[in-house]
Structure 1
Amino acid sequence: MLHTPGFAHYALAWSPFHNNRLALASAANYGLVGNGRLHLVSLGPGPGGQPALSLDKFYDTQDGLYDAAWSEVHENQLVTASGDGSLRLWDVMLNDLPIRAWHEHTREVFSVDWSNIQKDIFASASWDGNVKVWSPERPRSLTTLHAHQACVYQGLFSPHQPDLLATCSTDGTLKLFDLRAPAYAAGPGANSFTAPLTAAALTVPAAGTEVLALDWNKYRPMVLASAGVDKVVKVWDCRMVKLGAGPGAGEQAVGGVCEVPLVGHEYAVRKVQWSPHHPNVLASAGYDMTCRVWSTTPTAAGTHLLYIHDPHTEFVVGCGWSLYDEGILASCGWDCKLNVFRI
């Protein structure tokens, strides 16, 4: 366990290059007002086979940090999402300032995701309703999607198809965007920077309330998990679609079949992540101060719940599987604590 007094954690990210390196996106005063901090953490062997954590370095920011994503190209670089609408690219070999910064979003940036297929781009999702695609080498965004009329909580690239991106929102939907779709062909002099793209390839009415989190299954293309205010983790097969009236004008692809609802959290679920090692295992974190591990196939006892991790004393808002060790999971929360544990 690592304790960082004064800074509540919003998200964690495992390095794709080092099996013992994590980043923590944090904010003072629970992210409501005040500074942010990016923590860099190392994992080592500890007593009893449990991991031991050490804080290597931290960077202070003028506003709270809500998410972080490691570069898929440079082992020492990562990007952070900030409450002031900005994105910053950091190099962990440098001691103070970010090496690049962008500020196009007009509200909090709540999610960043680095494509692990097209490794030179990343995406950001904001409460301004927009998702933007970026290159670290460009001074402004490559593409803007006006994905939802309300807050966008996450925007994630598919791990199977480089031009497919999923979003979730306050409006209760998941949406899939195909960046190659003919609907995105701009007219003369038009571009997505000045005229954001809005046409979703698929809209999934996932909940009657806010959808706070989503994740792609790493083994099954077009299968996603969602979670939110309704306290249920839902697994969707987005290949089961039909034409119907979407949230916007006209007909569009809507649907998606909920394969299994995973019920057990007592309050809203803030994070969901599929295991990178097993196609039927996923983890979730929620306001009930727990991190839970599920199987989409029932156990011999007839339950989907495999494990509950409950040492946190405040909201658990982040969780993530180790990319190298299938038995290790990390969780972080508003109690200013990062827990890394073997299940």
Structure 2
Amino acid sequence: MATFQSPGFAHYSLAWSPFLNNTIAVAASANYGLIGNGRLNVLSVDPSLASGLVPQRQFDTQDGLYDLAWSEVHQNQIVTGSGDGSLKLWDITLNDFPISAWHEHTREVFSVDWSNVRKDTFASSSWDGNVKLWRPDHPRSIGTLKAHNGCVYQALFSPHHPDVLATCSSDGTLKIFDLRVAVAGGSSYAPGTLPPGSFETPMALAALTIPASGMEILSLDWNKYQPFTLASGGVDKTVKIWDCRMVKIPPAGAPLIQEPVQEVGGVCEVGLSGHEYAIRKVQWSPHRPDVLASASYDMSCRIWSTIPLPGRGNLLRIYDAHTEFVVGCSWSLYDEGVLASCSWDCRTSVWRV
């Protein structure tokens, strides 16, 4: 196991670099993210050292950082979401200041995600109920989805379709949007492009709405191998696996002739119970279609299989070395079975499942 400690800064989120197999970025906040500064740490894994994790760069911000995402086109760039509603783009080879900054959200930015299909676009979601789409070379957002009535805790691009985005919210729903449906009234734009300027899509134009829980949903993730399979986790303490194949979205490159058929439903295929408190993060393995990890306020990180094992069920492992809320986890993209987790105990750990 490798660990990194940053006293005074609770770790909120982390992600492995898609380009560098031993590099992790960690978003952190002073005072548990309630008030105070934020910090972006860039770490490298070095098994030859006692700690195993070596700090490479550090960037401080005026407000807490809640999430981050690596660029899919530039190996040295990271976008962060902040408690003051701003986003910042950092180059880890440069000192001190971000290379770009945006501030359109009116409340905390709780998630950012860089599309690994349309690699020039990233998304942010906020407690203001909106999801915004961005390009790093544009001074303003290129689109706004009025996604939910409550806080949008996460918004993720599909790894299978460039125009599909999923969201989860404090209103207890998961939603899937077709980003080619632009403005009210159903007007659309050419497949593979985004309309100029900002657009607002009413909540009713979600292609699929899943009433997933009577409580807040704090995290979701797309299965990397099975299109329209989603995992969700939240206040109900259960990881749920959803089959969303009822959604009718034309394939990439096909013309969008009319508004998508609006569906309400989705089938919960598996419910994985065991956490004692709310689940803060879920993430599918990038190496196996049946394995996923969850992080929870019960101070543990758990590894699950959707295929029950004889005598063991779905739970593969519990990692409980953290001493505070575990709020983030991320699978290594290069080394199968290696997971990083981060916690409000100001520590990031890298361990082998």
TM category (shorter chain) comes to: over 0.9
Q: Distance in 1 between matches of 2:117 and 2:186?
A: 21
Q: Distance in 2 between matches of 1:181 and 1:310?
A: 44
Distance 1:97 1:223, change over 3 A: same
Deviates most, 208-217 or 195-204: 195-204
Q: Secondary structure at the match of 2:307?
A: coil
After TM superposition, the structure 1 = structure 2 runs for residues 180-259 of structure 1, keeping only pairs within 5 Å, are 180-181=180-181, 184-185=186-187, 193=198, 195-198=200-203, 199-240=205-246, 252-259=262-269
Q: Distance in 2 between matches of 1:316 and 1:254?
A: 32
Aligned partners of 1:241 and 1:254 also within 8 Å: no
CA drift at 1:72 = 0.2
Q: Distance in 2 between matches of 1:27 and 1:122?
A: 22
Query: Counterpart in 2 of 1:122?
Result: 122
Deviations for 1:45-66, whole angstroms, at most 9, x for unmatched residues? 247xx98101111100000000
Aligned partners of 1:9 and 1:24 also within 8 Å: yes
Aligned partners of 2:294 and 2:329 also within 8 Å: yes
Structure 1: 5+ residue stretches without partners: 243-250
Query: Counterpart in 2 of 1:246?
Result: none
CA drift at 1:240 = 3.9
Q: Secondary structure at the match of 1:239?
A: coil
After TM superposition, the structure 1 = structure 2 runs for residues 76-91 of structure 1, keeping only pairs within 5 Å, are 76-91=76-91
Aligned partners of 2:207 and 2:247 also within 8 Å: no
Q: Secondary structure at the match of 2:32?
A: helix
Q: Distance in 2 between matches of 1:111 and 1:69?
A: 9
RMSD: 1.8
Q: Secondary structure at the match of 1:30?
A: helix
Q: Secondary structure at the match of 2:313?
A: coil
Q: What amino acid sits opposite 1:203 in the alignment?
A: T
TM-score (norm 1): 0.93
Distance 1:299 1:217, change over 3 A: same
Are residue 111 (structure 1) and residue 111 (structure 2) matched? yes
Deviations for 1:18-73, whole angstroms, at most 9, x for unmatched residues? 000010000000000000000010011247xx981011111000000000000000
Are residue 93 (structure 1) and residue 93 (structure 2) matched? yes
Q: Distance in 1 between matches of 2:246 and 2:199?
A: 34
Q: Distance in 2 between matches of 1:72 and 1:191?
A: 22
CA drift at 1:141 = 0.6
Are residue 315 (structure 1) and residue 317 (structure 2) matched? no
Q: What amino acid sits opposite 2:198 in the alignment?
A: F
Q: What amino acid sits opposite 2:66 in the alignment?
A: Y
Aligned partners of 1:145 and 1:192 also within 8 Å: no
Aligned partners of 1:33 and 1:64 also within 8 Å: yes
Q: Secondary structure at the match of 1:140?
A: coil
CA drift at 1:113 = 0.2
Q: Distance in 1 between matches of 2:145 and 2:25?
A: 27
Q: Distance in 2 between matches of 1:196 and 1:60?
A: 35
Q: Secondary structure at the match of 1:212?
A: strand
Q: What amino acid sits opposite 2:238 in the alignment?
A: V
Aligned partners of 1:144 and 1:192 also within 8 Å: no
Distance 1:240 1:302, change over 3 A: farther
Deviations for 1:103-161, whole angstroms, at most 9, x for unmatched residues? 00000000000000000000000000000110000001111000001100000000000
Q: Distance in 2 between matches of 1:177 and 1:332?
A: 30
Aligned partners of 1:23 and 1:39 also within 8 Å: yes
Are residue 295 (structure 1) and residue 305 (structure 2) matched? yes
TM-score (norm 2): 0.90
Q: Distance in 2 between matches of 1:79 and 1:330?
A: 19
CA drift at 1:191 = 7.7
Q: What amino acid sits opposite 2:241 in the alignment?
A: V
Q: What amino acid sits opposite 1:34 in the alignment?
A: G
Q: Distance in 1 between matches of 2:310 and 2:291?
A: 15
Distance 1:160 1:195, change over 3 A: closer
Q: Distance in 1 between matches of 2:238 and 2:274?
A: 7
Query: Counterpart in 2 of 1:341?
Result: 351
Q: Distance in 1 between matches of 2:38 and 2:198?
A: 28
Q: What amino acid sits opposite 2:21 in the alignment?
A: N
Q: Distance in 1 between matches of 2:345 and 2:114?
A: 27
Sequence identity of aligned pairs in percent? 66
Structure 2: 5+ residue stretches without partners: 190-194, 249-260
Q: Distance in 2 between matches of 1:241 and 1:185?
A: 19
User: How many matched pairs?
Assistant: 331
- For residue 35 of structure 2, the aligned residue among 33, 36, 53 is 33
Query: Counterpart in 1 of 2:67?
Result: 67
Query: Counterpart in 2 of 1:282?
Result: 292
Aligned partners of 2:110 and 2:127 also within 8 Å: yes
Distance 1:77 1:184, change over 3 A: farther
Are residue 166 (structure 1) and residue 176 (structure 2) matched? no
CA drift at 1:278 = 0.1
